[in-house]
Amino acid sequence: MRFDLILTALCLWAAAAIADLAVGSRHRLVRQAAYLAGLAGGVCITIAGVRGVVGPVATLDLGSLLGFSHTLVRLDGVAGLFLTLSGALAVLVSGCMVSWAGVKGRSTGRAAAPGFLLLLGSVTLVIIAADAFFFLFAWESLTIAFFVLAGARRTERPATRAAWVTLGVGKVSGASLLIGFLLLAGRTGSYALAAWSHVPAGAVHDAAYLLVVIGFVAKVGVVPFQVWLPLGYPAAPGPARAAMAGLAANVGFYGLWRFLGVLGRPPEWLAIATLVAGATTALLGIVFAGVQARLDRVLAYSSVENAGLITVGYGVALVGAATGHPPLVAIGLLAASLQVLAHAVAKTSLFASSPFFLDDWGTDRLDELRGVGHTHRFASVAFGLSSLTLAGAPPTIGFVSEWFLLESLMQEFRVGPLALRLAMGYAGALVALTVGIAALTFIRLLGLTILSRPADRSRSPREVHDGGILGRAGFVVLAVSCVGLAAVAPSVIRYLASGLTPIVARSDLLSALKSPWVLQPVYHGFSILSPSWLTVVMPIGFVVVALMAVAASQGRALRVRRVPAWRSAASGVPGTDRYTSFGYANVLRHVLGNVLGARRQMITVHDETDAGITEAARVEARTSVVEPVEAYVYGPGRRLFLRVSRAAKRLQSGRLDAYIGYMLFAIVVVLIVVAAL
């Protein structure tokens, strides 16, 4: 029955994609029909996922369906867990896409809907795949879906570049998985994923483990593979970027979870490398998010940060597995899974709501988006609560997940090897710094967009489309989930414990419950938290303090006092009477100048009046930042590749005798190498 629901969803999506390609997107109902199919299929996937978590394991042999070996599909707790999340998000994102595509001129061409449906189908197939060939087939299909969505607006040059960079990183990810799978299949003689759990410890096991981890973290954007996120996410059309960032990215984490259960104990150096890479990614992502002037790039770099935080939690689980410490595996996986949930809900909400006011206002610059909270109320509520979630503010699910993550890193004293303790300490320091900068970043985002008023009162959106019926329903569900999931965090942990049972014992995971409504970091007597009570006490406390302040001030606290805005300690300083996106982030730009590669330049500016008269010159300071991975890793590699390509062109003389000479030379070299071996 569970596989029947999955098959129904896949057939719905395939039929809708074919129909959209055949009919086109000229008519409103045709444009929306594909996304309605996505919504219906998402409901089926959600039900199948819940049954996978609470029911027995189900395996199905489809024979040689793909023409290679046996095609196996499997639905167990881990698969059910990620299907539940993917299906629920597919419903919400599809609803937002229905409303977005209903506006004339928003969805053009024939790439958006088929790419979106291909993405949903690929995610589902990756999660249920139980053999190597089927898994790689689904994985490459997901890469193609990313390529199609990133290049949907292919007439724009940035979209073209984004599509090719996305495809390039996707192929690196697929190649790494392919080589790792071949090593494991060669050692066991089987293509079934479950059979690889019998691979003995050794060089082959460790090399395959490393390749598999690289393949999955490349897809989610861990350093040095994060370069495609700031390009690929903003290039996708409308709320489809929510499907990429909040939904599809989760299959990378699913792969890490799945192969931790399959391959078992990792080498210690891999756990150390994972912790260091994850913590570095988190800090790099949030620092660059904090200084961006465009909303889409802020959100994309924030996804880099979240990928790093989740990878750190996974690294803690690797440390526990490497040292034979099941409770540490439990708290690491629990922290990472809660972070996956928080990131999925909040990032889906951000990327699903923001296109509505970005398209209406016609810009993604933060300084020009002042006042969207007054024009797009439903989208702004979802945007605001999800921003607080990613900032880790209580009482949101983001606060609970980050609390668990920091608590898991504080268990480093329980680990024996010094190198592992140092890696956990390093990760803990960077995660704590990341959490602080995230608060600054999202307060800046809220203050400049949702809570402010337009700098120019005459400026207003061209038109206002605040989500429509399905879009507004999606906004409400996503906004409520940001706080509601924290309120029922103990129940969420019980559900996660049922799903993660194939990897770690359920009893270890349920040790995170000190009592029915109080949480602890698996270990008794360490620290406790009750997010359920927090959601009740915080609003009450706010109301009590506010009433006391009004009473003590005899009502003066409610009076509005208007004074000139402080602009500078010196007189005659030009500019607006409010913070700009650049000015708000300037402290961060200076304090972390080494991370950002900040470059400051003093220039002389000569202003001219309308009559062409040159006024007195003034001096301005302009600051730019440098993305270190692009500048110092990919930049030199690109220049070397182009240099080699130009040199290779000289060999193409067009003369037949020259080409025969090249072939003879190559044959001689091959013979020498073979003889030497």
Let me know whether 236 and 379 are in one domain.
yes
Let me know whether 284 and 419 are in one domain.
yes
For residue 79, the model assigns a pLDDT of 93
For residue 433, the model assigns a pLDDT of 93
Cβ contact 284:229 at 8 Å: no
Specify if 199 maps to a domain: yes
Last residue of a domain, one of 473, 502, 534: 534
Let me know whether 282 and 431 are in one domain.
yes
Last residue of a domain, one of 534, 561, 585: 534
Specify if 619 maps to a domain: no
Residue 221's CB: how many other CB atoms inside 10 A? 29
Residues 82, 287: Cα–Cα separation, whole Å? 29
Specify if 20 maps to a domain: no
Let me know whether 637 and 528 are in one domain.
no
Specify if 444 maps to a domain: yes
Specify if 153 maps to a domain: yes
Let me know whether 367 and 507 are in one domain.
yes
Backbone φ, ψ for residue 113 (5° rounding): -65, -50
Let me know whether 294 and 177 are in one domain.
yes
Let me know whether 267 and 156 are in one domain.
yes
Specify if 311 maps to a domain: yes
Sign of CA dihedral 494, 496, 498, 502: negative
For residue 25, the model assigns a pLDDT of 63
Let me know whether 178 and 314 are in one domain.
yes
- The residues pairing with 622 across neighbouring beta strands, listed in sequence order, are 601
Let me know whether 638 and 525 are in one domain.
no
Helix %, strand %, coil % of the chain (to 5): 70, 5, 25
Number of domains the chain contains = 2
Let me know whether 147 and 264 are in one domain.
yes
- Model confidence over 562-608: pLDDT tens digits? 766 655 555 545 555 567 777 777 777 777 777 777 666 666 666 55
Last residue of a domain, one of 482, 506, 534: 534
Specify if 285 maps to a domain: yes
Residues 505, 508: Cα–Cα separation, whole Å? 5
Cβ contact 601:621 at 8 Å: yes
Look at residue 112 and give its three-state secondary structure.
helix
Let me know whether 523 and 643 are in one domain.
no
Residues 170, 165: Cα–Cα separation, whole Å? 8
Structural domain including 655 reads 629-676
- Model confidence over 216-273: pLDDT tens digits? 999 998 989 988 888 888 888 888 889 999 899 999 999 999 999 999 899 999 999 9
Specify if 6 maps to a domain: no
The ranges of the chain with pLDDT < 70 are: 1, 24-27, 66-68, 105-109, 154-157, 454-462, 563-578, 598-624, 651, 653-654, 677
For residue 611, the model assigns a pLDDT of 54
Cβ contact 278:315 at 8 Å: yes
